[in-house]
Amino acid sequence: MDLDPRLAALRTLGGFFVLRASGPPPRPLPPLAEVYGTGTPGSRRDPLTFRVRKVAAALRAPEARIAASVAHQGLAARLWSAALGCAALYGRIPDLDPDLLRWDPGAAAPDDLWLTGVRPLPGDADTVAAAVLGAHLVPLATALRARYRVAEGLLRGNAASALAGAARELDRWARAHGRPDAAARARALTAELLGHPLLAGTGTLTGTAFRRRSCCLYYRVPGGGVCGDCCFPAPPGPARSAGAPAGSARAPQRPARRPPAAPPSSPHAPSG
């Protein structure tokens, strides 16, 4: 199936997979290339700082790097979901060039991302990796590490977790809607992508279940627990935030988490 100009097939997958396409956003929004490469850290005009602050306020995060990690995984999950959904349903993906993709850091999915033009690309793993990892997650991680001192291994784990979560949701949808072809493509692509040098060693994929080797720090927020794919079976005691019960594991098998009082554009559910 060829890509249609509005990527309409993604609508059946739900808002987290949907990518607004073939038209400008309703108001001027920065391209992600600008988000990754320009802007003064701490400036109110800097969308990345705005997003991290928004997440921090919603989570009551005791450290900025926790909010940076959650914000990172949220955007990673959106990008993987759109790319993987297109690859599974169309067999092709749109060019996700950061100059074409506009971002609203305060909006909820699907209105947070707008693709200003659909340029078809192959749907193979190398192309998907270049479109998401190379074009987006590498420069995003560089910006977050420079500003918030987030560990490289944590961000690599976030990227892998977001990919695996998107794949699980897509597999679940495909099985429920009689699309074994889409499920098979999603599983094969995910397995190959997790072997990419930037993701290799971040965790273990068993079927559609993923167990990461790092922690996103969500357990440190008040009322937070460990995510379903966390390396920790329960929040580490000494660092556990007040109000987070020792056995409060987050529900698994979703692209990402929705913590208590999550901001509108954070991902839906635990990373599982």
93 DSSP β-pair partners: 121
Q: How many helices (H) and strands (E) does the chain have?
A: 7, 7
**83 contacts 101 by C-beta, under 8 angstroms:** no
Taking only the tens of pLDDT, the chain with its 272 residues reads 789 999 999 999 988 999 999 778 888 999 999 999 844 555 557 899 999 999 999 999 999 999 999 999 999 999 999 999 999 999 999 999 999 999 999 998 999 999 999 999 999 999 999 999 999 999 999 999 999 999 999 999 999 999 999 999 999 999 999 999 999 999 999 999 999 999 999 999 999 999 999 999 999 999 888 898 999 988 886 544 333 322 222 222 333 343 333 333 333 333 33
As a whole number of angstroms, the distance between CA 162 and CA 150 comes to 17
pLDDT, residue 32, reads 96
DSSP structural state of residue 226? B
**103 contacts 47 by C-beta, under 8 angstroms:** yes
Helices (H), the chain: 32-37, 47-59, 64-90, 125-129, 138-148, 152-176, 180-194
- State the first-to-last Cα distance of the chain, in angstroms, to the nearest integer: 31
Q: Global pTM?
A: 0.86
